[in-house]
Amino acid sequence: MTTNFISPAIPQSYADQQNAQYNHSGSKYVDLKQRFNDTISTLHSMKSSGVRSQLKNAIAVFQKNNPLVKCFEDLQLCVAGLTPMSDILIDITIQRILNLTWVIEILRNFREVQADPIKLYEVTAGGDLAKLYPVGTKLFASWDAQHTAIVYWIIAVMIFNQDPRKVMVPSILYKIKNRADIRENFVSGNSDIGKLRLDSIDLYRQMVLGVRLDGSKKSEWVEAELKQQYLEQAGLFVTAEKFGDTHMSGAISRMTEIDKYTSDIIRKFCMYTTTIPTPRNIVSQEIEIMCAWFNMAKEDGIDYTDDEIVGLGDHLHQLFGADFYESSDFWVKVRKAYENWHKKYYANMPVQHQPKHIKVAKNWNTGGTFLWHQLSKTWTGGRIPALNSSVPFIPAGKDLY
């Protein structure tokens, strides 16, 4: 029997406040000043002071590095515009080797709203093709987006049989004269050196908002939004160290399982957390082990009812308070059981071949294996799936609860 999923009655908890960011009815616009000030205002006073000091230092460094810049207009920024396709060259000594598989992938999934402008710099000297053009012809080389440029060429020439001299390509012209600058731009623009990559939680947030605000039907995004529904119903929220709230009640700071498992597994984990008597944050090992348990059951054809899940959570509380913190009694118990098994397992092996150190990882392989043997012994309120762990660790009965 499956019971209704009832959310905890915690009015405007911290989790509720954080989850509210996913529930806008439409776009919310702020100007650049407000965006900056709003972000600063959310920081704790000490963190805010530190950020302001770093900003002051960065401003000083900028002024030192740009002594001739007296106003914004003095900056030699890129110029956006349209460039004849025939005037765009590729410097193969800077660009990576063309990946035709990626070209085909871009073409296959081509969408106008995702098409990037080609990043160019003016060719002032040299280059094999440059010699073929009349003196005075302005030519431009792409220092980034060569794959997109090739896709544009395929569309214009191979698909529509157009003259590349008459096709205008969206482009951004960078006023660069030094090849070293061009190469540094390419490296930083295509690696973690120059870009702040989207974290897993940032991608998750975009997917949820994409469904709720934009009506996206993309399956992966719809699945993420469904997971968010379950988190909200259980008074949980996803976060990260960078937000400084991983200690708050309901906080999940490990995104691995949220990304890895399907929404039905996340729902079961959320149901399990409703058995936590005192609101707290979710420990990394807890979500890893419990999601892996529910997924192991699923692979064994077991679809736990809500009653079984609640019974499981209650049983874990009776055994060890469902405390998966690294210093908890659970891990002390696991380590002791592992050490005893380890001595027996290697007893007949020559000393020189025995491991010098006993390493007990606090993860699913070790903790999950212990938990399976434990529940096989003491949990009578639900079905026990077949163990899918490959580790040989078998705790002795005397080392279990």
Residue type, 206: Q
Whole-prediction pTM: 0.74
d(CA 161, CA 139): 22
Model pLDDT, residue 176? 78
The percentage of the chain sitting over the pLDDT mark of 90, rounded to a whole number, equals 42
Model pLDDT, residue 130? 54
Which of the four pLDDT bands, split at 50, 70 and 90, describes residue 196?
low
Contact 285, 367 (CB under 8 A): yes
**Phi/psi-derived region of residue 304, left when phi > 0, alpha when psi is between -120 and 50, beta in every other case:** beta
Quick check: 317 pLDDT over 60? Answer: yes
Higher-pLDDT residue of 113 and 334 is 334
Higher-pLDDT residue of 208 and 178 is 208
Quick check: 194 pLDDT over 70? Answer: no
Which of the four pLDDT bands, split at 50, 70 and 90, describes residue 10?
very low
The percentage of the chain sitting over the pLDDT mark of 70, rounded to a whole number, equals 91
Model pLDDT, residue 136? 62
Q: HEC string of 350-392?
A: CHHHCCCCCCCCCCHHHHHHHHHHHHHHHCCCCCCCCCCCCCC
Render pLDDT for 181-192 as a digit per residue (tens, 0 to 9): 778 777 777 777
- 174 bridge partner residues: 121
Higher-pLDDT residue of 43 and 327 is 327
Contact 139, 130 (CB under 8 A): yes
Question: Which residue shows structure tokens 């939004």?
Answer: 225
Render pLDDT for 86-143 as a digit per residue (tens, 0 to 9): 888 887 777 777 788 888 888 888 887 778 888 888 876 655 555 666 666 778 888 8
d(CA 224, CA 190): 27
The three-class DSSP label of residue 212 is: helix
CA torsion, points 188, 189, 194, 195, in degrees to nearest 10? -150
Give the residue among 365, 346, 364, 341 at the shortest CA–CA distance from 356: 346
Q: Which residues of 357-393 are buried (b: 16+ CB within 10 A; e: fewer)?
A: eeebebebebbbbbbbbbbeeebeebeebebebeeeb
Give the residue among 198, 197, 214 at the shortest CA–CA distance from 22: 214
Nearest 5°: phi and psi at 182? Answer: -60, -45
Quick check: 269 pLDDT over 90? Answer: yes
CB atoms within 10 A of CB 101: 8
Model pLDDT, residue 179? 72
Higher-pLDDT residue of 144 and 201 is 201
Task: State the average pLDDT for the chain.
Answer: 86
Model pLDDT, residue 302? 98
Q: HEC string of 6-39?
A: CCCCCCCCHHHHHHHHHCCCCCCCCCHHHHHHHH
Render pLDDT for 349-362 as a digit per residue (tens, 0 to 9): 787 777 777 888 99
Quick check: 260 pLDDT over 90? Answer: yes
Render pLDDT for 133-149 as a digit per residue (tens, 0 to 9): 666 677 888 888 888 88
Beta-carbon-side half-sphere exposure of residue 305 (alpha carbons within 13 Å): 10
Average pLDDT over residues 254-270: 97
Residue type, 35: R
Give the residue among 75, 94, 5 at the shortest CA–CA distance from 273: 5
The three-class DSSP label of residue 257 is: helix
